[in-house]
Amino acid sequence: MDRTNPEKPSGLFNGIVDWMDERFQVRTLVQSALHVKIPRKAKTFYLGGITMFLFMVQVVTGSLLALYYQPTPDRAYDSVMFIMSNVNFGWLIRSIHSWGANLMIVSVVLHLLRVFFQGVYKRPRELTWVAGMFLLIVTLVFGFTGYLLPWDQRAYWATTVGTEIAGAMPFVGEFALNFLRSGPDITASTLSRFFGMHTLWLPMTLAAMLLVHLVLFHQQGIADPTKPVSRAKPDASATPEPEGKLLPFFPHYLLSEAIAWYVILGILIILASLWPVGLEAKANALQTPAHVKPEWYFLFLYQLLKFVPRVAGVLAPIVAIPLLVLLPFFDRNPELKPRKRLFAVIIGLLTVAGIIGLTIWGQFS
């Protein structure tokens, strides 16, 4: 017991919290972050949290891989080989990192789709959506830069195709290709540039953007997808939501989120153990493999480029991405229910079907 206050619990943990509280007001911070109520009807499917969890897994496994990985063309391949055969559980860590990257892309896309189809990007969550779009782009660039690092044939040639797609952009294509490759060809400079981006620039950018995303999310609270957005400014004197319609964020929501993370961790370990990631022959710039394809999440673009003029295929995402980033500012319809915003929902469904169709086609052609 605290001698000055017999009611206050003592102990090492409380002592540390008291010490921190006196300096950084941690209690107030934790109280404001956790002790909030959320609408019972909110359905996030925990996808944003799962994406965040997968990012944390990537940081931990990536930091372990970086202890052995050597980013030069003559050492990169052998260092990955060394990780897989000589480092304890090295093969598992590498496989978790590779599966984690794929699952993170799946979960961020599913998170975007849930936000889109529930219409919860609308006022006042426009900037949460914009920050989210930047997170999506950074996540894709993460995958792209990581793919080259093992320096095997697949890595080398997939990066060749990927950077060629960027090079086909009108006006800025040559600049983009030279910037990405750090010169006209894929060389040692490309590898160190990709390594620097993958292990320093992108994690820092993603962490900073995520902080912005979460602060915005915390300020606005989880959206209730059954309530249309009011056109009126928020009224401070409005009657608060009845208690029965709300759920405590802590511990209820957070506990379910923790269970979701636990399940994802299980899935990740099973996938990585049953289908460990392999390594092809060492990269050889003079030996083009029979089938060169980019990673699965760029396959739709690769396939599109096969049958539309190259410039049109490259321009499509350049026009689509800014439109998608600014979507909350174009879409002024306050309704959230899918049947009351049919136009947006149909365009969304057609886009998803098109991307899935092109990806499957690209995979089997």
Q: Point out which residues bind ligand HEM (CB under 6 A).
A: 44, 46-49, 51-52, 55, 108, 111-112, 115, 120-121, 125, 128-129, 132-133, 135-136, 139, 210, 213, 217, 222-223
Q: State the nearest-atom distance from the C-beta of 216 to ligand HEM, in Å.
A: 8
Q: State the nearest-atom distance from the C-beta of 296 to ligand HEM, in Å.
A: 18
Dihedral, CA of residue 192, residue 195, residue 200 and residue 203, to nearest 10 = 160
The single-letter DSSP state of residue 172 is: T
Q: State the nearest-atom distance from the C-beta of 305 to ligand HEM, in Å.
A: 24
Nearer to ligand HEM, 213 or 293 (CB): 213
Nearer to ligand HEM, 47 or 268 (CB): 47
Q: Which run of H or E residues covers position 248?
A: strand 246-248
Q: State the nearest-atom distance from the C-beta of 11 to ligand HEM, in Å.
A: 32
Nearer to ligand HEM, 80 or 222 (CB): 222
Nearer to ligand HEM, 49 or 90 (CB): 49
Q: State the nearest-atom distance from the C-beta of 1 to ligand HEM, in Å.
A: 39
Q: State the nearest-atom distance from the C-beta of 6 to ligand HEM, in Å.
A: 41
CA 142 to CA 127: how far, in whole Å? 22
Q: State the nearest-atom distance from the C-beta of 199 to ligand HEM, in Å.
A: 17
Nearer to ligand HEM, 105 or 314 (CB): 105
Query: Residue 156: which of 299, 304, 286 has the closest Cα?
Result: 286
CA 83 to CA 90: how far, in whole Å? 5
CB-CB contact of 329 with 193 (8 Å):
no
Q: State the nearest-atom distance from the C-beta of 239 to ligand HEM, in Å.
A: 21
Nearer to ligand HEM, 55 or 298 (CB): 55
Alpha helices by DSSP H, listed for the chain, are: 12-24, 26-34, 47-66, 76-85, 90-118, 126-148, 153-167, 173-181, 188-196, 202-220, 254-274, 299-307, 310-325, 327-330, 342-364
Q: State the nearest-atom distance from the C-beta of 358 to ligand HEM, in Å.
A: 20
CA 5 to CA 361: how far, in whole Å? 70
Query: Can you tell me which residue has the tokens 């792209």?
Result: 144
Shortest-Cβ-distance residue relative to ligand HEM? 132
Would you list the DSSP string of 265-298? HHHHHHHHHHS-----SBP-TT---SS----GGG
Nearer to ligand HEM, 155 or 344 (CB): 344
Nearer to ligand HEM, 61 or 139 (CB): 139
Query: Can you tell me which residue has the tokens 């590779």?
Result: 98
Contacting residues for 264 by C-beta, under 8 A, at least 6 apart: 50, 53, 54, 103
Nearer to ligand HEM, 136 or 169 (CB): 136
CA 136 to CA 4: how far, in whole Å? 52
